[in-house]
C-alpha cells in the first residue's frame, strides 16, 4: 500500500506510525516545517525528532 503524503487523520494513524517508526512530514498550511519519526503523542502535540508540533495547527502526512 502506497501511503506517501497521505494525511494521518485518526489517533490510530499516529500510534501506528510511531510503533512502526514510519517517518512523517509536518505541514503548516502548504509549508513543510518538519519531518522525522514520532517520539511522543499527547492529545495536544506530537514530538517528532526533537521538536514539538501542535496537533490542531499542523497537518501530518506519511513521508514514505
Give average pLDDT by consecutive 10-residue segment, the chain, 64 residues. Answer: 84 96 96 97 95 97 93
* All domains of the chain in start order, with CATH: 11-62 (2.30.30.100)
pLDDT score recorded for residue 3: 79
H-run or E-run covering 48: strand 45-48
Cα separation of 41 and 55, whole Å? 9
For residue 60, the model assigns a pLDDT of 97
Cell of 24: 512523517
Q: Tell me the whole-structure pTM to 2 decimals.
A: 0.90
| Kind of pairing between the strands at 45-48 and 51-54 | antiparallel
Amino acid at each position: 500500500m502506497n501511503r506517501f503524503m497521505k494525511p494521518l487523520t485518526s489517533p490510530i494513524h499516529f500510534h501506528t506510525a510511531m510503533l512502526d517508526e514510519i517517518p512523517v512530514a509536518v505541514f503548516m498550511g502548504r509549508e513543510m516545517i518538519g519531518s522525522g519519526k514520532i517520539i511522543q503523542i499527547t492529545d495536544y502535540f506530537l514530538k517528532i525528532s526533537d521538536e514539538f508540533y501542535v496537533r490542531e495547527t499542523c497537518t501530518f502526512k506519511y513521508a514514505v
